[in-house]
Chain A
Amino acid sequence: MPGISREEVAHLARLARLELKDEELDHFAGQLDDIIGAVATVSDVANEDVPPTSHPLPLTNVMRPDTVRPSLTPQQALSGAPAQEQQRFKVPQILGED
């Protein structure tokens, strides 16, 4: 029986940098459990000879030639950045004091 525990939801939330309150963890664990259960019914239908699908279209080898195409200007690239400095994306401190 598939399922997801409250601890697993807390772990995933941490990995996804989501801050969840205790009641939210309970709430989402229940909801996610329902979703996983629903998705799992697919396994009941598909036999072993049906490979898992990662792409809906039977396409392979879609490639492009190694030819340079114009890039954005640095101004365009940075236009959506919340902060910038020296023509670079400015991000908050990566490592805390420890």
Chain B
Amino acid sequence: MTVTELVPYEEALATYDPVMGLEVHVELGTATKMFCGCSTTLGADANSQTCPTCLGLPGALPVVNATGVESAVRIGLALHCEIAEWCRFARKNYFYPDMPKNFQTSQYDEPIAFDGYLDVQLEDGEIFRVEIERAHMEEDTGKSTHIGGATGRIHGASHSLLDYNRAGIPLIEIVTKPIEGAGERAPEVAKAYVAELRELIKALGVSEARMEMGQMRCDVNLSLRPKGERSFGTRSETKNVNSLRSVERAARFEVQRHAAVLDAGGKIVQETRHFHEDDGSTTPGRVKEEAEDYRYFPEPDLVPVAPSREWVEELRAGLPELPRVRRNRLREEWGISQHEMQSVLNAGAVGLIVATTDAGAPADQARKWWMGELARRANESGTDLADLPIGPEDVARVCALVAEGSLNDKLARQVIEGVLDGEGAPDEVVEKRGLKVVSDEGALGAAVDEAIAGNAAVAEKIRGGKVQAAGALVGAVMKATRGQADAARVRELILEKLGVEG
């Protein structure tokens, strides 16, 4: 097939209305796999974390991980879902070497959680409600390495190698209902939904949800229908879109591609598609198998899960504050605008600022450092704020030193720099670099006298009432003290000595 000429996005939206369905897989952060006691530690030696159960050897019996079930219920509750009173696992049968059992243990028509929603906030503050169809429990597959083809691709490979360490790691699959009515903002809604879901998963502490590590992956289902039409068009399913930015790009690309096919009078093929990070395009994968071809049936080796209502309520009571609620509370406490909060969020600074205020710093100071100097440094070195070699306690200590008058802003900047350069904690940097505000009034007084004497003309102007000229003398004193004086106090002293009211 030739590459379809894409329709410009705005043009596509003028004719069509997109409908999306998002499927997100979250790898739980449990210590062991979903149905056996093998470790889930990343980066282990190939096939060193397998056992008869996850290898599907004859006679092995799976037993579900209690923490896995609890995490699933908590995710369901946080998504305002109903929790099943009774549900079973099912076998999803397929032949592919990523599962040594030739089936994946999943849930079919009895998901543990269903009928919920997640409110997501778009960049301009608008709230969009995404309805949740279901969240169910299943297991991850093994990792394939394809040998002999170009750049490790499955096409043209002579054979493949399988590492089953990942096979059996608990997954929760969260499926939205068809997302309608987002219109031109569909790609933005998709991105905001995945971002919000990731925050939620992290707040629950059930997974680190690091997309770049594959701990959270998104499949984007998208179809177009002519504006005003109610029934859905044929959808494509773009698999494994693994960053927030990619989710938005994939949705946007598919809108443009579908529009091109439909405009040309063509039909959308229901198929899976692969997303390409480099240019944001998608290419066809396999034609989607019919659900019945998986021959789902209830898993006979696992007994049903029946979460008692008491337990569910106990878990509900223990849920943390939801991320969006928390963000709005913090935004109000910090007294900043929606837009400013969005920047803090985008910079990944919310947790750091909270930790800094918890360590005693005023919120505005904490925010000033993380969003100013430190954001700049992180940007320069291309790292995340959280990965800078400075922590919230360090920043809080610097704020405290400024508050008690031992440091002025300029010196504080140097202390931060010292900490970032690995010179130690703030107090050590102060000590080593000799950074202290000169608070010795005698020494300061002498420096002021000297400045007045050396700038007689300026001093005369100030005496004459031209108070704003004091800046030049303050500058001279700051220079003489190598910036280690409290500029406000210097100004006071100058005016005092010249007998002028500030």
Contact = CB atoms under 8 A, between A and B. Distances in A.
Interface string B308-350: 0000000000000000000000000000000000000000000
Nearest to B94: A15
B32 A69 contact: yes
A86 to B, nearest CB: 6
Interface in B188-233: none
Interface residues of A, number: 36
A87 B45 contact: yes
Given A65-B66, A66-B32, A54 B47 contact: no
A60 B303 contact: yes
A94 interface: yes
A68 B161 contact: no
B300 A63 contact: no
B164 A69 contact: no
B88 A54 contact: yes
Contacts of B65: 63-64, 66
- Interface of A (DSSP majority class): loop
A63 to B, nearest CB: 4
B159 A90 contact: yes
B465 interface: no
A64 B45 contact: no
A91 B154 CA distance: 12
Given A60-B304, A68-B37, A94 B160 contact: yes
Interface in B231-250: none
A63 B64 contact: yes
A72 B93 CA distance: 25
Contacts, number: 132
A38 to B, nearest CB: 19
Residue of A74, A90, A92 with most partner-chain B CB within 10 A? A74
B69 A63 contact: yes
Contact of A87 (B31, B39, B47, B49): B47
Interface stretch (B50-58, B433-441, B487-495): B50-58
Nearest to B97: A91
Interface string B22-57: 000000001110001111000001111111100101
Contacts of B164: 77, 89
B299 to A, nearest CB: 8
A50 B111 CA distance: 22
A86 B64 contact: no
Nearest to B297: A54
Contacts of A90: 159-162
A66 B33 CA distance: 8
Nearest to A60: B306
A21 B113 CA distance: 45
A78 B95 CA distance: 20
Contact of A66 (B30, B47, B86, B161): B30
Given A15-B295, A63-B65, A73 B154 contact: no
A56 B327 CA distance: 49
Interface string B46-88: 1111111001010000011111110000000000000000101
A63 B32 contact: no
B298 interface: yes
Contacts of A85: 147, 161
Residue of A61, A71, A85 with most partner-chain B CB within 10 A? A71
Contacts of A54: 88, 298, 300, 304
Contacts of A93: 157-160
Nearest to A80: B57
Interface of A: 12, 15, 17, 54-55, 57, 59-69, 71-74, 77-78, 80, 85-95, 97
Given A63-B64, A91-B160, 19 more contacts: A15-B93, A61-B303, A61-B304, A64-B64, A65-B66, A67-B37, A68-B31, A69-B36, A71-B51, A72-B52, A72-B55, A77-B48, A77-B164, A87-B46, A89-B164, A90-B159, A90-B162, A93-B158, A94-B154
18 contacts: A15-B293, A54-B300, A55-B304, A59-B303, A61-B303, A61-B304, A62-B63, A63-B64, A63-B69, A64-B64, A68-B39, A69-B37, A72-B51, A86-B46, A88-B163, A92-B159, A94-B144, A94-B160
